[in-house]
Amino acid sequence: MALLEVINLKKVYTTRLGGTKVQALDQVNFTVEKGEYVAIMGESGSGKTTLLNLMASLDRPTSGQIILNGINMETMKQKQLCGFRREHLGFVFQDFNLLDSLTLKDNIFLPLVLSGKDYTDMAQRLLPLANKLAISDILEKYPYEVSGGQKQRAAVARALITNPQILLADEPTGALDSKASDQLLKIFSEVNKDGQTIFMVTHSVQAASRAGRVLFIKDGCVFHQIYRGTSSNEEMYRKITDSLTVIQTKKQEEVS
C-alpha cells in the first residue's frame, strides 16, 4: 500500500462576498510510496501551494480524499488534526517560520515539547540530527542571529526530529542563495537515502532535479510526471527543462 494517496482532490475558493468561485485544484490524483522523493513543479497560480496546504491539513478540500498511511485526514476533527500534524508530518517553509522568541535548539524541540516528550529523549534525538545538518555550534543562538541557510537547516531539523512519515517542503530553497540551496538539497538527498519520504513543492529546476520523481501541475491538474530511473542529476535537469518547454509551448499553442 502506498504511504500517501491523493484521490480526486478538488478545492474551490469562494470569494468572501459569495461572488466568483476560483477552482484551485481539480481532480488531482497521485500516490507517494514510502521512501520516495517527490518534487512538484508548476507555475505560480497552478495550485501547488493549495495542494501542499491540503496535504498539511492546514486547509480542508472541497471534495476528494487524502489518505496517509491508511488514515483518511478528512475524517479527523480539528483537534486531532493538530496532533496528527505534529506527529506524522514535518514541514519546511520558504520563509523558515522559526520563532524569534526561541533559540534554534528550542525551535527544533517545539513539536516534541508540544507532544509532551521527555527532555533526555529530545536531547538524544537532536544530537545526531544537529551533526548531520551542521548546526551543532549554533543551537543556542536565536534565529535573528544566524544566516538564512542556517535558519533553514534548523527548520529542517525541527521537521525531522519527530521522525515524520513524510516531510513536506514548500519552496525550501526559495529564500536561499545558491550555495546554501545546494547544501540544503544535499541534505535532502541524504535524509532521503536514509529512508525519509520527502514531498517538495518548488519552482527551481535545480531543486527538482534532485528528486526521484517530478510531478508537473497545471491549472489544478497533474499534467505530467517524470521518473529519474537511473539518470544522473544533470540528465534529470535536462528532462525537466524539456518537459517545461513542452508545457510552455503547448500553452502558447492553446492560446493562439
Q: Which of 12, 71, 110, 175 binds another protein (CB under 8 A)?
A: 110
22, 23, 58, 227: residue in contact with another protein (rule CB under 8 A): 58
- Smallest distance, another protein to C-beta of residue 226, A: 30
Verify binding: residue 199, another protein, rule CB under 8 A.
Answer: no
Q: Does 127 bind another protein (CB under 8 A)?
A: no
Applying CB under 8 A, the span of 65-73, 115-123, 193-201, 246-254 interacting with another protein comes to 115-123
- 8 A C-beta contact, residue 198 and residue 167: yes
Which of 7, 71, 76, 102: binder of another protein (CB under 8 A)? 102
Q: How far is the CB of 175 from another protein (least distance, A)?
A: 14
Instruction: Answer yes or no whether residue 143 interacts with another protein by CB under 8 A.
Output: yes
Give every CB contact of residue 132 below 8 A, 6+ residues apart in sequence. 187, 190, 191
Nearest approach in angstroms of CB 78 to another protein is 7
Mask of contacts with another protein, 236-255, x by CB under 8 A? Answer: --------------------
Q: Does 122 bind another protein (CB under 8 A)?
A: yes
Which residue reads 516531510 in cell numbers?
A: 167
Question: Which residue, 112 or 226, is less far from another protein as judged by CB?
Answer: 112
16 contacts another protein (rule: CB under 8 A) = no
Chain-centre distance for alpha carbon 62: 21
Does the footprint of another protein cover residue 137 (CB under 8 A)? no
Q: How many residues bind another protein (CB under 8 A)?
A: 32
Look up cell 491523493; give the residue. Answer: 6
Total count of residues recorded for the chain: 256
Tell me how far apart the alpha carbons of residues 124 and 121 are, in angstroms, rounded to a whole number: 5
List 34, 86, 224, 238, residue binding another protein (CB under 8 A):
86
- Cell 545526531 maps to which residue? 128
Question: Which residues is 214 bridged to in the sheet?
Answer: 39, 226
Contacts of residue 128, defined as CB under 8 A and 6 or more positions apart, other chains included, come to: none
Nearest to 173 by CA among 155, 191, 146, 196: 155
- The number of helices, as runs of H, and strands, as runs of E, in the chain is 8, 10
CA separation for the pair 40, 14 (Å, rounded) = 25
Nearest to 190 by CA among 135, 231, 235, 133: 133
Q: Verify binding: residue 93, another protein, rule CB under 8 A.
A: yes
Q: Please count the other Cβ atoms lying within 10 Å of the Cβ belonging to residue 11.
A: 22
- Interaction of residue 99 with another protein, rule CB under 8 A: yes
85 binds another protein (CB under 8 A): yes
Residue numbers at the binding site for another protein (CB under 8 A): 56, 58, 78-79, 82-83, 85-87, 91, 93, 97-102, 106, 109-111, 113-114, 116-117, 119, 122, 142-145, 158
